[in-house]
């Protein structure tokens, strides 16, 4: 039984070959950003109100006219097919079962139409990477609109890939040529290896419009290496706006001035993110910049956050500082790795249950009862003036 997210992570570690576990788990360079996300969340404390009626706790939030059962969602994660065959569909179903949104990555291994069809009543958003050939992005946006995705999430923190040292050490790139160490790794994880042998190697099937899914090997390698269009700038948003009529969000915003600029460009929502510490290792934790961004946005569009959220109390901290909702990446994928759809559901359920318990302990009957006065900085994290 899983009591905490670390149990789920350990389940993933056991099931996955090392190079796959490291691909999911790792961050950029020294992994300072990866760890800073968690330690800055831990340094915040929650200040509860006492003697409040918490007989019923309402965790619902409204976003773009739709109701989420909890202020929680599954962030876009590429290459889920490497974690489990059908990984994207299993994750989408797990999110749907919890009444929370699922964001599908451009780098998914199942066609966006198939993932939409797997949970047609659920909230699903489409994440967009723009590669040098913009025609690829254009066909993805058109297909996402036709399939009924509720919002488009443009990721803006990947002009180039972060330096993921674990992946380089493990030789993880396309075309995949396993060395002796990796062959041993595969042999010692027979359940994963047999599953992959049966399903065949996962491909980036959204890059091509054709249903046989055959994007060139070169293009697929470029996506895994995150070779993006570096000429994508603020003015390019007008191009996307012409293609996409629904809500448009930017994911990867870390500055209040960029948030203000996004509003002027007509963006409908922001996701404060440092990509889970996988891109700019010197970037600040997302929780440390949240309030400044919320203030600059002044409630005109919803602000979401991700990177490092592992507990319901982490989520409540971000909600107190003004986030409309929190996305998680690795926790859902660890659950998927360890036990498929049921595992992802259990991992998401763990955070959900903790949100309810934390709200109850806070004396907050609903999310709207929370405010910045509910958060304080930990004394233990501050230098002491004198020692006794
Ligand atoms: C294995 C992995 C793959 C990811 N792939 C993408 C992606 O394709 N597109 C994207 O916008 N973000 C991607 N992300 C970043 C997540 O959307 C999210 O920002 C991050 O995982 C949040 O941090 P957390 O994992 O600590 O919850 C990926 C993250 C991981 C762990």
Dihedral sign (CA 241, 242, 243, 245): positive
User: 330 alpha carbon to ligand 1 midpoint, in Å?
Assistant: 7
> Does the Cβ of 105 fall within 6 Å of ligand 1?
yes
Pick the catalytic residue from 35, 189, 275, 374: 275
CB 119 within 8 A of CB 93: yes
Q: Indicate whether residue 311 lines ligand 1 (CB < 6 A).
A: no
Residue nearest to atom 13 of ligand 1 (CA): 77
How does pLDDT run across 148-173, given as a tens digit for each residue?
999 999 999 999 999 999 999 999 88
Q: From ligand 1's centre to the CA of 235, what distance in Å?
A: 25
Q: Domain segments of the chain: what residues?
A: 5-42+73-348
Q: Is any atom of ligand 1 closer than 6 Å to the C-beta of 70?
A: no
Neighbours of 315 (CB within 10 A): 28
Q: 5-42+73-348 is classed in which CATH architecture? A: Alpha-Beta Barrel (3.20)
- pLDDT confidence of residue 214: 66
pTM, full prediction: 0.97
Q: Is 18 in the pocket of ligand 1 (CB under 6 A)?
A: no
Residue 200, class by beta-carbon neighbours within 10 Å (0-12 exposed, 13-18 middle, 19+ buried)?
Answer: exposed
Based on the residue annotation, tell me whether 189 is a catalytic residue of this protein: no
Q: Is 42 left (phi over 0), alpha (psi -120 to 50) or beta?
A: alpha
Mean pLDDT of the chain: 95
pLDDT at 202 over 70: yes
Best residue for ligand 1 mutational test, from 26, 78, 84 (most atoms within 8 Å of Cβ): 78
What is the per-residue pLDDT for 252? 98
Q: Is the shortest distance between the CB of 208 and ligand 1 below 6 Å?
A: no
Q: 67-98, pLDDT tens digit by residue?
A: 999 999 999 999 999 999 999 999 999 999 99
383, pLDDT greater than 80: no
């Amino acid at each position: 039984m899983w009591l905490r997210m670390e149990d789920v992570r350990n389940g993933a570690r056991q099931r996955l070959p090392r190079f796959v576990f490291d691909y999911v788990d790792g961050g950029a360079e020294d992994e300072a950003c990866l760890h800073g996300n968690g330690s800055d969340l831990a340094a915040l404390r929650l200040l509860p109100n006492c003697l409040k009626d918490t007989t019923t706790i309402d965790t619902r939030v409204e976003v773009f006219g739709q109701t989420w059962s909890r202020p929680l969602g599954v962030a876009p994660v590429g290459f889920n097919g490497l974690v489990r065959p059908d990984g994207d569909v299993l994750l989408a179903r797990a999110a749907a079962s919890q009444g929370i949104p699922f964001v599908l990555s451009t780098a998914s291994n199942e066609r966006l139409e198939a993932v939409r069809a797997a949970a047609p009543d659920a909230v699903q958003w489409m994440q967009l990477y723009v590669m040098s050939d913009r025609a690829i992005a254009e066909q993805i946006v058109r297909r996402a609109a036709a399939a009924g995705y509720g919002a488009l999430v443009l990721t803006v923190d990947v002009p180039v890939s972060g330096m993921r040292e674990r992946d380089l050490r493990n030789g993880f790139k396309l075309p995949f040529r396993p060395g002796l160490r990796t062959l041993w790794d595969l042999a010692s994880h027979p359940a994963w290896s047999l599953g992959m042998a049966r399903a065949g190697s996962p491909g980036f099937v959204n890059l091509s419009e054709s249903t046989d899914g055959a994007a060139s090997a070169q293009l697929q390698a470029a996506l895994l290496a995150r070779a993006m269009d570096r000429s994508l700038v603020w003015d390019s948003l007008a191009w996307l706006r012409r293609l996409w009529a629904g809500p448009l969000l930017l994911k990867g915003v870390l500055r209040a001035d960029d948030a203000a600029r996004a509003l002027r460009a007509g963006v409908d929502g922001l996701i404060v993110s440092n990509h889970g510490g996988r891109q700019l290792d010197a970037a600040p934790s997302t929780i440390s910049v949240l309030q400044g961004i919320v203030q600059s946005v002044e409630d005109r569009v919803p602000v979401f956050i991700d990177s490092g959220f592992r507990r319901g109390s982490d989520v409540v901290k971000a909600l107190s500082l003004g986030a409309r909702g929190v996305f998680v990446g690795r926790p859902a994928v660890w659950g998927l790795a360890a036990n498929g759809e049921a595992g992802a559901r259990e991992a998401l359920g763990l955070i959900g249950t903790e949100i309810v318990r934390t709200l109850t302990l806070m004396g907050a009957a609903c999310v709207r009862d929370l405010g910045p006065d509910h958060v304080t900085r930990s004394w233990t994290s501050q230098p002491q003036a004198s020692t006794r």
